[in-house]
Amino acid sequence: MEEKAILRHDTLAKLNEMDEITYENRSASLAKQLYNEEVWHQATTIGITIARFPEVATKEIIRRAWLEGKIVAIPETNNKTRAMHFRRYQPNDPLIQKALGLYEPTKDAPIISEEEIDLLIVPGVVFRSDGYRIGFGGGFYDRYLAGYKGNTISLCYTDQMTTNFTLENHDLPVQKLLIEANQK
């Protein structure tokens, strides 16, 4: 296995050991950090995935965005082209389950352009302190970030941090990492 694949596998294995209460508490702690960020307060449109365990939970973040009057955009992926764009997601909108159990908007939801998204919350599996990340292996976010000019943040558990991994030409960092307070 290559270096990134090994780091991804080992980190996911460790995260999968979390029980539900620990998972919810750790995710809630990171969400609270996000709500204190100036870029969160200033953003009118948030790009975010509908996370699945053991990723940092995002459903409460989405609800909070709606309560604050923000527009929520979630990604729609094309597995053949590895391209991704965002569609508006509103309360009670239908979602479709795609590969790997991801939930995405239907084709009826309006597309939200890169320019409209003020804050992109970028998922990942492994992170370096300089904002570089290893995702789930599809390359969707690296491709999207290449043209995205807005603010980027990733939420990460302490278990997801590493000191280093070899960067590739397509790797792009997020502007800010929010790392949970030590849970030990």
The annotated binding site for ATP is made up of 4-8, 133-141
Dihedral in degrees, nearest 10, Cα atoms 35, 142, 160, 97: 80
β-strand 45-47 against 119-121: which pairing, if any?
A: parallel
Tokens of residue 99, six digits:
């590969």
Cis peptide before 110 (omega within 30 of 0): no
Binding-site residue set:
4-8, 50, 55, 133-141
**DSSP tag of 60:** H
Binding-site residue set for substrate:
50, 55
Whether the CB-CB separation of 64 and 28 falls below 8 Å is answered with no
